[in-house]
């Protein structure tokens, strides 16, 4: 079975070679890690551990997927803790007036 490779069109590639890529954020993994896609040639990049843009390889896709899951679970846990702190009753709140 042959694998098909997608070749970008000549003009968008030429545009990016001359003027540089025009990246836009396509996915926010965490507050600091983002996945970006070039508007013209559709090249995908992500931020690495040092904050620099690197090509989005399958290895980085897996790292970003796991990192996003950890980040989402942590945010859910923190939001539940803050919700529980808001609903704590004090002794004065529980007094029954006659």
Reported pTM: 0.68
* Dihedral angle over CA of 3, 53, 62, 25, nearest 10: -90
Domain count of the fold of the chain: 1
| Residue 30 counted as domain residue | yes
| Residue 72 counted as domain residue | yes
pLDDT tens digit string along 64-90? Answer: 999 999 999 999 998 888 777 665 555
| Residue 54 counted as domain residue | yes
| Residue 64 counted as domain residue | yes
- Both tokens of 60, joined, read 């980085």
What percentage of the chain carries pLDDT values higher than 90? 52
- Domain range spanning residue 65? 18-80
Name the pairing type of β-strands 23-28 and 44-47: unpaired
| Residue 32 counted as domain residue | yes
| Residue 34 counted as domain residue | yes
């Amino acid at each position: 079975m042959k694998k098909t490779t997608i070749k970008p069109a000549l003009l968008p590639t030429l545009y990016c070679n001359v003027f540089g890529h025009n990246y836009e954020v396509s996915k926010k993994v965490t507050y600091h890690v983002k996945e970006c896609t070039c508007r013209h040639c559709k090249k995908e990049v992500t931020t690495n551990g040092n904050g620099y843009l690197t090509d989005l390889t399958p290895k980085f896709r897996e790292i970003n997927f796991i990192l996003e899951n950890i980040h989402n679970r942590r945010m859910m846990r923190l939001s539940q803790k803050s919700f529980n702190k808001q609903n704590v009753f004090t002794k004065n709140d529980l007094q029954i007036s006659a």
